[in-house]
Amino acid sequence: MTQYPADEDIWLILAEDIRQELGNKLSILGYYVGGDIVVEKNNTSLGSLALLFIARGGDGFVDWSVDVISPSGAKIPSPSGSVKLELTSPFVQAVKYLGVRLEIGEYKVILSFDGMKRYERKFVVKNPVSDPI
C-alpha cells in the first residue's frame, strides 16, 4: 500500500529559475524569500517562475500533478507525471513557467498524488510597499 508524505514534510520554494546541474545538484536562482512575489505596479509579468517541491517520506509509486490557482480562480496549466516515493530519498520536482503574467493577490498551489489533492501551499503577489513621506 502506498504511503504519502506527511503535510509537514512537504516544502514549496518559489524562484525565478531552477536548473539541474552536474552531480545531482540544483541551482536555485532568484529565490522569493518568504513566499511573496513583489512586482511593480504597472508590470505583473515575469520572464519565468519556478516552483520547487521537496518531500521527505512516503513509499510507493504515485502519479503526481500540480495545480496553480490564481486569485481570480483561473487555473494555470501545469505538468504531471509519475514517480516512486522512497522513505530514504526525497521527492524533488521542479515546475517552470515561462512568460508568466500574474495577478495581484493570493495564489494556491496544490500538489496531488494519485488524483487526490493532498498538499496545499500559498503565495502572494503584491506591489511594493511605499515608504510614507
Asked whether 111 and 23 are in contact (CB, 8 A), the reply is no
* CA dist., res. 52 & res. 91, Å (int): 10
Grade residue 133 by pLDDT with cuts at 50, 70 and 90. low
Residue with cell 504519502: 4
Report the pLDDT averaged over residues 86-96: 90
Q: Is 57 left (phi over 0), alpha (psi -120 to 50) or beta?
A: left
CATH entry 2.60.40.10 includes domain 7-125: yes
* CA dist., res. 110 & res. 64, Å (int): 10
Express each pLDDT in 9-55 by its tens digit. 999 999 999 998 998 899 999 999 888 899 887 788 899 999 999 99
pTM score, two decimals?
A: 0.88
Residue with cell 531552477: 18
Q: What is the mean pLDDT of the chain?
A: 90
